[in-house]
């Protein structure tokens, strides 16, 4: 499938959600998002790593160096209390926005029929 653009803020929200499952390094986060989306979302390194840096600067995640499953040095990220709070707020905003879009699209489709 081709490139899928995300709404602004959606990647951050999905990374925070992925980290509710535990600490992961960047590649594992990308693989988890791909797997959970049934291969629809393929997050590129050029998007993921700036998002991880931004989330860490915001204090929403913490990173620490460790060894990956294949004995490579990797930075593992975990969710902070502040990150959990931000995730709740972003999830609420996302649900409100996606509900509004769904209502508009339902109206438009109905109006065209």
What's the CA angle centered on 41, arms 35 and 46, to 5 degrees?
Answer: 115
DSSP 60: S
In a domain, 4, yes or no: no
Give CA–CA dist 42/53, Å, rounded: 19
pLDDT at 17: 97
pLDDT at 111: 52
pLDDT in tens, the chain (113 residues): 345 566 667 899 999 999 999 999 999 999 999 999 999 998 998 999 999 999 999 999 999 999 988 899 999 999 999 999 999 999 999 999 989 988 898 865 555 54
CATH number of the domain to which 104 belongs: 1.10.10.10
In a domain, 92, yes or no: yes
Domain count, the chain: 1
Domain that holds residue 82: 10-112
In a domain, 1, yes or no: no
Give CA–CA dist 53/55, Å, rounded: 5
pLDDT at 45: 87
In a domain, 17, yes or no: yes
In a domain, 98, yes or no: yes
> Residue 96: which residues within 8 A CB-CB, separation 6 or more?
none
* CB atoms near residue 70 (< 10 Å): 6
pLDDT at 2: 44
């Amino acid at each position: 499938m081709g490139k899928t653009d995300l709404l602004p803020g959606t990647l951050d929200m999905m990374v925070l959600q992925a980290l509710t499952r535990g600490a992961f390094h960047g590649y594992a986060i990308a693989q988890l998002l791909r797997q959970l989306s049934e291969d629809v979302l393929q997050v590129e390194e050029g998007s993921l790593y700036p998002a991880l840096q931004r989330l860490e600067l915001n204090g929403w995640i913490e990173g620490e160096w460790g060894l990956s499953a294949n004995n490579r040095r990797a930075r593992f990220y975990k969710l902070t209390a502040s990150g959990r709070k931000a995730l709740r707020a972003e999830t609420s905003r996302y649900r409100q926005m996606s509900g509004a879009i769904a209502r508009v699209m339902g109206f438009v489709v109905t109006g065209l029929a």
